[in-house]
Structure 1
Amino acid sequence: MNDDSQKFYNDLQDVINQIPTEDMYIIMGDFNARVGWNNQQQQNLYNSIGPYTVDITNENGEKLIDLCTINNLIVTNTFFKHKLVHQTSWMHPGNKQWHMIDYTFVNKKFRSSIEDCRMYRKAAGAIGTDHHLMRIKIKLHFRSRRKLVQKKLVYDPIKMKNDNALKQFQKDLIPTLSDATDKTISIDEKYDRFVEHMKTNAEKILKIDKNKNRKRKEWLTDEILEIVEKKATAFVNWQNHRGTKLEIEYANKYKRLRKLAKGKIEKRQEEYWDEICEEIESSVKLNDPANAFNIIRRLGGKRKRIKNMPIKDKHGKLILNSADQLERWREFFGDLLNVSTAVDLQLIDQIKITRIEKNEEERQSIQPTISEVRKALNQMKSRKAPGNDEITADLLKAGGEPVIKWLHEIFSDIWKQEEMIEEWNLAILIKLFKKGDKQLCENYRGISLLSVTSKLFSRIILNRIQLLVNRQLLEAQSGFRSNRSTIDQIFILKLCMEKRREFNKPLFMCFIDISKAYDSVNRNLLWKVCRQYGISEKLVNRLKMLIQIQKQRKVIEEADVTGIQVSYGRNDFFHGTKEKYLNFDILALLYADDLVVMCETSDDLEIFIETFEKITLAYGLSMNVKKTCIMTLKQLEVDQNNKIIHNHEVDQPDLDINIRNQKVEIVNYFTYLGCGVSRDQKPDEEINTRLAKASTAFNMLRSVIWYRKTISITSRLRIYRACVLPVLLYGSETWSITKTHEQRISTFYMKCLRIIIGVNLGDRMSNDKILEMTGQPPIETIIRRNRLRWFGHANRMMNSDNEPSVVKKITFSYFPEEKRPGNSGIRKRWEDKVKEDIEHCQIKNWRKDSLNRDHWRELINKNVQNKPVHQNIKEIIYEYKQRAVNRRNDDLAASHGVIKTKVTEILVKDTNNHYVCPGCGIQFKPQGIANHVKACLNAQVWCKNNKIK
């Protein structure tokens, strides 16, 4: 027993040693020890034990006192006077004596923060324990320490949009162009001067004024602030002249300014929210959902991030010291970013270098032009964090032509001298939490904040090689390519699964994840592949300079394994001619480093995974087995007549695939590129996910947008369409859902509209009435439009060789030699839903109409156009709410057996708009007749007869 006790105190001491001495920590628990006073020990124990004890110190108590003395802890239980029953926590089962064995300890220097500590007897009976509940009351008295941190320059967003301020900023930069053309200084010195000129002029012209509130609302303008200031002055003048002849004059002036300020604020707020709506809508149209979601988060308010949260080391031990935490992060990101890859030189030598024509080499090798710099600057995204030099893309754009000339000179010097700017080699690494345990470093993503000018230089190189590389990439690769999106791959995957399920054919899929895909690429291999793609030596050298801080991407071709044989020809609906597409294999779909492999047999899948693992290892990459998973399509048994036997699934072979002694997981549901994929092809879980995500997006703006009366209903609806509907309907182009699913989505859709306009179910406003007043189309119509929009896009899609793309081929594919099994059910396919949509929209010749994008858009948007909000929407809502109030009052009266009647509903007004009391005959205005009649003694009989109470 003594050994166990000593081991406990040793382990506790080890934990305490890890806590920084400046931190406050509290230790609570059952220590099975007794502490008390005696004359000999009183002086020595004074620092740890207070005057209010109930026991005599025993052996465990001495160990406890030693622990407190060594670590400057106090036993808080002994510093507060309470009744004996509120001090003791446990009764000895033998002698029935009560003792204090549950304690709370705290650092001595934080003694003033402890206000009370006592026991509660009642809680013990509630939870069934023989110990009393111990409660400690704490009031923190921390003294904050100000850290001397150099403040970063913050620009005024209003001035950044002010034409006069921008003109002055650009004008002041023109004299600095002499430094840009100075040939006697180095590139680093020239760049330092550029940064210095930018910061100096920006601080002078674009900086937020000190006398203004830096945290003021974004919609506030100088004009509004000036009017508000005048209004405040007018109010003071009015108060100073109360009771004088000038009171009315000053009061009228104040009221006039108050009305003017209110009108200006309402108008500016409406303009501001319209600007927000346009920004979100443009982001959605430009396929930039990240920017749209950033705006949503900005509107919803920033979440407070807990800095210096305790983390665990490699062995799972908690790290509390800030310096040790920083060292752990340095170790983690060092291992993550400094990946050593070994590639066989023979593999690199096997890559053939493409011979470049002279004209193409000259085009790639010439130094950047001003037009290229201007184009690259316009392509840079705004509102992005800067690098160490604090130069943002917004500031560069604000500089206009002078900045473009500055950058052109700097980039030209880099191009000629093949020397990189030293500042560009510095990146700010920040950590962003992904999901899971926040104490594990593996659950964080590292983001490098690079210099914006270095990214601008990279954009110029990318623009030169973009078309060249795109022509050589696999058609199955859709990542980082123009006119391609995640929906391409999601659609192909889902339609492949649907067509295999239609004919009850097997399908084996593997979703592969590459460990540190962008950080593990071998540099020598990368340069060789660049030359194979036809990139000139000049550009390769520029990429080598940039690679010191940036990682480039390389796609590895797949192994040669038998895939899914799919034929393409005529079917009853889609094809009016007898043309047939050639047979082709769909083996793998790629979106950047996301890879999904589809095979007909488990053997093919196993061969592919083994081959892929060997090839990736040979080229310095490796599969992440924990994030790689396998899914098999649900296949039902058939009888001798080729009819489906329901609820009898075909026994799939046991897929026991191991990679580096780790088994690949088999799943029934997987989220691929943001869309759910289920092995039984049922959309239930995906719809649940969409509704949950849309509900989160909607609730983020509940108090910020939907409940704010200063925002018009029109603006709220625009924000709803731009922020919530894209989340709800992501991937709806590929949906083939049932009426039940549509009803669930419609319920959420209408619920949101009710909240936006401020009505509830108790108001009994029908869905049709809500849609009519808000001018919104039904959600079923929007889903139908999205499906037809994608169908028209798929019909127009051609690859770089002007041949039908994979998306178009899979859209019109079928199995001409296969027969559908009988009794397979009535689940509708995607093409069945498209056929219904075309018939519903009364499109007669879709083959011709879909080839004309503008005409097709006009046809499918015919029933989805948003109409203006009803002019009298507020009056109509008020009317419905009044009816609801009357119904509730009537129901309440009926429940008590009394039907209430109003006095004014029975009495009739005279010509002077007066009522006459039926008891005393006195005339009253409408505001006073009801109370008088109820109180009039002569009218009591009349009230009783008319059931008025």
Structure 2
Amino acid sequence: MDASTDKSLLKENINVEDQEGKLASNPNDILDIVSSHFKSKFEDEKVEEITPFEGERKPLKNPITPEEVRKSFNSLSNNKAPGEDQIHAELLKYGTPLLDQTIADTFNTTFSKHENLDINTGVLIAIQKPGKKKGPPNNLRPITLLNSLRKALSIITLNRIRPFVEEYLSKSQSGFRPDRSTADVVWTHKWLAAKTLKEDVIIKISGIDMSAAFDTIDRNQLLNIIATIVNEDELRIIRFLLSNTKIKTRINGATKTNTFISNVGTPQGDSLSPVLFIVYLEHALKEVRTTLPRPIVKYEKEIPNEVAYADDVDFIGQDYVNINEIQETLHKYQLKVNTDKTEFTALSKNEEDWKNAKKVGSLIGDLEDVERRKQLSTAALNKLYHVWMKGNKLKTTTKIQLYKSLVKSILLYNCSTWALTLTEEEKINAFHRKQLKKVLNIKFPVKITNKSLYKKCQEKPLSLQILKARWNLFGHILRRDSDIPANRATRAYFIQYGHKLRGRPTTTLPIVLNRDLGLIEHFRLHSTDDLVKITELAKDRKQWRELSARIEKAAEASQTVNWDATRQYVSKSHILYDC
């Protein structure tokens, strides 16, 4: 959380209801209600407490070095609200190098002598969930501010265990891993959908949704799992970070002096927590996989059978999985399946419902996803109406920067997976220009040429930006391990399992990629052999950049709109923007 954001949250009063449904007015009552609410979520008196140290006192086999401390300090973000210690990250980040050795010695002494280091208390700030009714405590979202030294120790631990974690996790998991993102998941589903639009095969997806998964895991079980993966030193540090975690509540500027224990789930606000969670989940999923039926149909053996991003897990095959069996297995690990949000999707030429199925924030159907992105970006643009209307008070460059950060980023979320016809691309270009005109406060009867508008905003047609993102992602995926779901789905598309469907081909991601390659000579994407050649090319980053640049240049040259021919004048008295 930014420091400025923290101040704004403190100014915004939080209203909560008591058990009788009446709004509490006394500040102390509000603090007690919120604190009790989150205590019930994060503290379980039945859970056995984890001790910070175990076994004899001895130094770490690989002591924490000043270089590790410095690297962790440099990883801290600027302008973030401090924790209980009130030490801002900048003080550590830009402090004297002598501090690195001092902090390293402090950490090492803690483990060699089992001395207490009080860095595990966080400050919880509750904010109102957007779009939710004000009053019920369930509609508050907790944000925990941690001490800077704890953040540094967590980053050191994360850097140490990452190689072990990468080796332990399955290829299907894309969450919180280097070089992986939600785009991997969406890309996989788009290629599977393209497969069913090309052949008479049906692919069924069982999307498992878990309830508050991060907040329900058993820390003792987590430690037992971690012990099988990492070295003794890292296990000792993780044990320390999971022990004696306490929370103070701060509401409306007032902080409750009493703390409560947080002993359920991964520690709030910790950079190490997501990685610990996916390790815990992976262990549970390994057992789940033993209960699933083995692939029988040929295409089931080729396509990815599982795609996951953190706790969003999709099981893929010819049939849906048995949710009850999965629930029983996950229950052993205190993980709960939200049956109301669990989604079953059948990818088929004859089905339409799958197009509105949401996967990690994107809809599988391209047109449906684009339309939704337009609506969300329009809402974001309208929220900043007062900014665009300030006229000359804000520089054009400032407005454009705000637009790119707060609006355009919403519009182009996972745009690298879109498959659009040329007509649809021109529609989204027009939508983009309409937004740019609104940002610049250009209204009728004032006119501006498209070429001048792009130049003034330092922009390009959105279709070219989407094309560039598509080829960046395509190359990135091809360079990854061949067994990740995105690559398996890509390969499976070119292996024929069923009868080819008649009629005009539907515009899908592989067809659009082939269309892009058609802009230049000697490249096509029609078969497995073509994919192998392009994969080899992608491994050479320089050659791939040159290929992408050639495609982008050819696409720009083939734009159907002649910018110079579209200049429109109303009269000489009207302002014409031209740069």
TM-score above 0.5, yes or no: yes
State the match for 1:462 in structure 2. Answer: 158
Q: 1:563 to 1:794 in 2, by over 3 A?
A: farther
Q: Quick check: 2:60–2:108 contact (8 Å CA) kept in 1?
A: no
* SS of residue paired to 1:311: coil
State the match for 1:257 in structure 2. Answer: none
- Counterpart CA distance in 2 for 1:478 and 1:756 is 36
- Counterpart CA distance in 2 for 1:819 and 1:499 is 11
- Counterpart CA distance in 1 for 2:155 and 2:356 is 38
**CA apart distance, 1:879:** 11
Q: 1:469 to 1:749 in 2, by over 3 A?
A: same
Q: Please tell me the residue identity of whatever aligns with 1:474.
A: S
State the match for 1:627 in structure 2. Answer: 341
- Counterpart CA distance in 2 for 1:489 and 1:818 is 24
**CA apart distance, 1:864:** 5.9
* SS of residue paired to 2:97: helix
Q: 1:795 to 1:688 in 2, by over 3 A?
A: same
The answer as to 2:379 corresponding to 1:674 is no
**CA apart distance, 1:834:** 0.3
State the match for 1:383 in structure 2. Answer: 79
State the match for 1:369 in structure 2. Answer: 65
State the match for 1:307 in structure 2. Answer: 13
Q: 1:565 to 1:584 in 2, by over 3 A?
A: farther
State the match for 2:312 in structure 1. Answer: 594
**CA apart distance, 1:761:** 4.4
Q: 1:409 to 1:497 in 2, by over 3 A?
A: same
Q: 1:583 to 1:634 in 2, by over 3 A?
A: closer
Q: Please tell me the residue identity of whatever aligns with 2:419.
A: S
Spell out, residue by residue over 1:23-65, the C-alpha distance to the aligned partner (whole angstroms, 9 max, x if none). xxxxxxxxxxxxxxxxxxxxxxxxxxxxxxxxxxxxxxxxxxx
**CA apart distance, 1:531:** 1.7
Q: How does 1:24-63 map to 2 (within 5 A)?
A: none
**CA apart distance, 1:320:** 4.6
Q: 1:536 to 1:768 in 2, by over 3 A?
A: closer
* SS of residue paired to 1:840: coil
Identity of aligned residues (%): 23
Q: Quick check: 2:84–2:123 contact (8 Å CA) kept in 1?
A: yes
**CA apart distance, 1:342:** 8.2
Structure 2 residue corresponding to 1:820, chosen from 497, 500, 524: 500
The answer as to 2:277 corresponding to 1:559 is no
- Counterpart CA distance in 2 for 1:496 and 1:793 is 19
Q: Quick check: 2:120–2:150 contact (8 Å CA) kept in 1?
A: no
Q: Please tell me the residue identity of whatever aligns with 2:544.
A: W
- Counterpart CA distance in 2 for 1:886 and 1:732 is 35
Structure 2 residue corresponding to 1:767, chosen from 445, 450, 456: 450
Spell out, residue by residue over 1:877-905, the C-alpha distance to the aligned partner (whole angstroms, 9 max, x if none). x9968625499xxxxxxxxxxxxxxxxxx
Higher relative contact order (CA 8 A, sep 6+): 2
Q: Please tell me the residue identity of whatever aligns with 2:518.
A: E
Q: 1:494 to 1:339 in 2, by over 3 A?
A: farther
Q: How does 1:563-642 map to 2 (within 5 A)?
A: 583-584=301-302, 586-602=304-320, 605=321, 607=322, 609-633=323-347, 636=350
Structure 1 residue corresponding to 2:171, chosen from 430, 455, 475: 475
Q: How does 1:491-570 map to 2 (within 5 A)?
A: 491-533=187-229, 535-548=230-243, 549=245, 550=267, 552-553=276-277, 554-555=280-281, 556-557=284-285, 558-560=288-290, 561-562=292-293
- Counterpart CA distance in 2 for 1:492 and 1:791 is 11
The answer as to 2:91 corresponding to 1:405 is no
Q: How does 1:62-101 map to 2 (within 5 A)?
A: none
- Counterpart CA distance in 2 for 1:886 and 1:709 is 16
State the match for 2:572 in structure 1. Answer: 883
State the match for 1:852 in structure 2. Answer: 540
Q: Quick check: 1:311–1:320 contact (8 Å CA) kept in 2?
A: no
**CA apart distance, 1:406:** 2.5
Spell out, residue by residue over 1:102-142, the C-alpha distance to the aligned partner (whole angstroms, 9 max, x if none). xxxxxxxxxxxxxxxxxxxxxxxxxxxxxxxxxxxxxxxxx
State the match for 1:738 in structure 2. Answer: 421
**CA apart distance, 1:417:** 1.6
Unaligned runs of 5+ in 2: 49-57, 246-266, 268-272, 524-532, 557-566
- Counterpart CA distance in 1 for 2:548 and 2:9 is 40
Q: 1:585 to 1:496 in 2, by over 3 A?
A: closer
State the match for 1:279 in structure 2. Answer: none
The answer as to 2:536 corresponding to 1:805 is no
State the match for 2:510 in structure 1. Answer: 831
Q: Quick check: 2:59–2:111 contact (8 Å CA) kept in 1?
A: no
Spell out, residue by residue over 1:443-501, the C-alpha distance to the aligned partner (whole angstroms, 9 max, x if none). 22212211110111121122111111111111111111111111111111222233134
* SS of residue paired to 1:428: strand
Q: 1:494 to 1:846 in 2, by over 3 A?
A: closer
State the match for 2:461 in structure 1. Answer: 778
State the match for 2:560 in structure 1. Answer: none
**CA apart distance, 1:755:** 3.6
Q: 1:707 to 1:730 in 2, by over 3 A?
A: same
- Counterpart CA distance in 2 for 1:391 and 1:433 is 27
* SS of residue paired to 1:469: helix
**CA apart distance, 1:691:** 1.3
**CA apart distance, 1:667:** 8.9
- Counterpart CA distance in 2 for 1:698 and 1:864 is 28
State the match for 1:414 in structure 2. Answer: 110
Spell out, residue by residue over 1:662-710, the C-alpha distance to the aligned partner (whole angstroms, 9 max, x if none). xxxx997343222123xxx3x3432222112323444455544674536
Q: 1:504 to 1:761 in 2, by over 3 A?
A: farther
- Counterpart CA distance in 1 for 2:209 and 2:473 is 28
**CA apart distance, 1:793:** 1.8
The answer as to 2:89 corresponding to 1:393 is yes
* SS of residue paired to 2:324: helix
Q: 1:311 to 1:730 in 2, by over 3 A?
A: same
Q: 1:425 to 1:764 in 2, by over 3 A?
A: closer
Q: Quick check: 2:362–2:414 contact (8 Å CA) kept in 1?
A: yes
Q: 1:443 to 1:843 in 2, by over 3 A?
A: farther
Q: 1:395 to 1:862 in 2, by over 3 A?
A: farther
- Counterpart CA distance in 1 for 2:70 and 2:332 is 42
Spell out, residue by residue over 1:492-551, the C-alpha distance to the aligned partner (whole angstroms, 9 max, x if none). 122223313432433333332223322322233112211211x23343232222112236
Q: Quick check: 1:339–1:520 contact (8 Å CA) kept in 2?
A: no
Q: 1:325 to 1:859 in 2, by over 3 A?
A: same
Q: Please tell me the residue identity of whatever aligns with 1:834.
A: L
Structure 2 residue corresponding to 1:441, chosen from 132, 137, 143: 137
Q: 1:567 to 1:389 in 2, by over 3 A?
A: same
**CA apart distance, 1:821:** 3.0
- Counterpart CA distance in 1 for 2:296 and 2:512 is 25
**CA apart distance, 1:833:** 0.3
State the match for 2:254 in structure 1. Answer: none
State the match for 2:35 in structure 1. Answer: 330
- Counterpart CA distance in 2 for 1:838 and 1:742 is 17
The answer as to 2:471 corresponding to 1:788 is yes
State the match for 1:453 in structure 2. Answer: 149
**CA apart distance, 1:745:** 1.7
Structure 2 residue corresponding to 1:430, chosen from 125, 134, 139: 125
Q: Quick check: 1:515–1:622 contact (8 Å CA) kept in 2?
A: yes
Q: 1:715 to 1:473 in 2, by over 3 A?
A: same
* SS of residue paired to 2:492: coil
Q: Please tell me the residue identity of whatever aligns with 1:333.
A: F
Spell out, residue by residue over 1:390-438, the C-alpha distance to the aligned partner (whole angstroms, 9 max, x if none). 002112112131322331221121131233312x232111112224222
Q: Quick check: 2:347–2:354 contact (8 Å CA) kept in 1?
A: no
Q: Quick check: 2:76–2:152 contact (8 Å CA) kept in 1?
A: yes
Give the length in aligned residue pairs.
507
Q: 1:809 to 1:566 in 2, by over 3 A?
A: farther
Q: 1:522 to 1:718 in 2, by over 3 A?
A: closer
- Counterpart CA distance in 1 for 2:425 and 2:329 is 45
Q: Quick check: 2:519–2:551 contact (8 Å CA) kept in 1?
A: no
